[in-house]
Structure 1
Amino acid sequence: MDWLGDNAWAVWLGLGFTLGVAELFSLDLILLMLAVGAFAGMVAGLLSAPLVVQILVAAAASVAMLALVRPSVVKRLHSGPDLEMSHHKLVGQQGVVLHEVSALEPGRIRVSGEDWTARPYDDLVTIAPGEAVEILQIRGATAYVHPVPRLES
């Protein structure tokens, strides 16, 4: 029993590796956090701390990892990039008016090689064919557009 007391760090090291390998099968990140606690207990054992202190250090490190680190890591792993899909990716893009766009009669625009029904974002504006427009909003299958100002030379 004297050898075990002098080499408790080796037990902590073995426990840490065992928990780390078991984490590869569970993928919950719980066993990994416990493994970090075991490695903290190993460090306490290497510093010749009493067994009670080693256990307390390992438990405190495990609880801290579970409470502070795991939630943010899980959140980061489970969230993906924000993908703009469907027609929402057209908002902010520019297009060209094909048929006059007014509040009274919807027109047609071409943006990214596709034709869209369009209405002016501002009901008081009429946009002539050939004008450049920016898509400000998509509602259903209608693009709400605003003319892009031109620099006069």
Structure 2
Amino acid sequence: MQIWLVSPLTSILLWSILLAVFVVVEMATVNLVTVWFAVGSLAALISSAFTRSLLVQVVVFLVVTAVALAVSKPFMDKARHMRPAAPVGLERNLGRQATVVQPVRPELPGRVQLDGVDWTAVCETGLAEGDLCIVTGISGTTLRVEPMRQPAHSTEV
């Protein structure tokens, strides 16, 4: 079994290089592709301080990698599917309420205000100044809006 014995410097170099490669690949992909291998490499690097046996170091690498993968993967999958990605850019305005500041006619765009910003708006029905509307779409810098449905008024007895 002499073949599996290596010098401490060789072990440190081997596991340090592998650790660096796995970390660089993980940073480049950011998809949790090699993070488990990096953890295994770190464990093998630490084990190289206690044994010269490359076989033991490889077993430590494989076991720690497998355990890290088995323990963390279910949590990562659950976190990834827990909530949908937040809308970004103009998409975050969809479904939001705006106020008409210049009448909107079916054949003529008007203006609405959303978060203090004036937007050009189009609507299939007419909207008067001061009406509330809901943003249903975005085309360039023009919002598609619909009249806000008013809740049915209940009659008090």
TM-score of the pair, normalised by structure 2: 0.53
- Counterparts in 2 of 1:111 and 1:59: CA distance versus 1, 3 Å: closer
- Measure how far apart 1:96 and its partner are: 0.7
Question: 2: distance between equivalents of 1:56 and 1:32?
Answer: 13
1:91 counterpart (74, 88, 94): 94
Is 1:61–2:63 an aligned residue pair?
A: yes
Which digits, 9 at most, give the CA deviation of each residue in 1:14-67, with x for residues without a partner?
A: x68x957x958x84355432123466899xx8xxxxx79735632532663798
- Return 5+ residue gaps in structure 1 as ranges: 1-10, 46-50
Q: CA RMSD in A?
A: 4.4
Question: 1: distance between equivalents of 2:57 and 2:129?
Answer: 77
Question: 2: distance between equivalents of 1:83 and 1:96?
Answer: 22
Alignment of 1:26-65 (within 5 A): 27-28=23-24, 29=35, 30-37=37-44, 54=56, 57-61=59-63, 64=66
For the Cα contact (< 8 Å) 2:40–2:62, is it kept in 1?
no
Aligned identity (percent) is: 19
For the Cα contact (< 8 Å) 1:37–1:61, is it kept in 2?
no
TM-score of the pair, normalised by structure 1: 0.54
- Counterparts in 2 of 1:110 and 1:56: CA distance versus 1, 3 Å: closer
For the Cα contact (< 8 Å) 2:134–2:147, is it kept in 1?
yes
- Return 5+ residue gaps in structure 2 as ranges: 1-7, 25-34
Question: 2: distance between equivalents of 1:106 and 1:96?
Answer: 14
Question: 2: distance between equivalents of 1:110 and 1:31?
Answer: 51
Structure number with larger C-alpha Rg: 1
Which residue is 1:110 aligned to? 113
Question: 2: distance between equivalents of 1:52 and 1:110?
Answer: 68
- Measure how far apart 1:109 and its partner are: 0.7
Deviating above 6 A after TM superposition, structure 1's stretches of 4 or more consecutive aligned residues are 39-42, 65-70
For the Cα contact (< 8 Å) 2:105–2:122, is it kept in 1?
yes
Read off the aligned partner of 2:41 and give its amino acid letter.
Answer: L
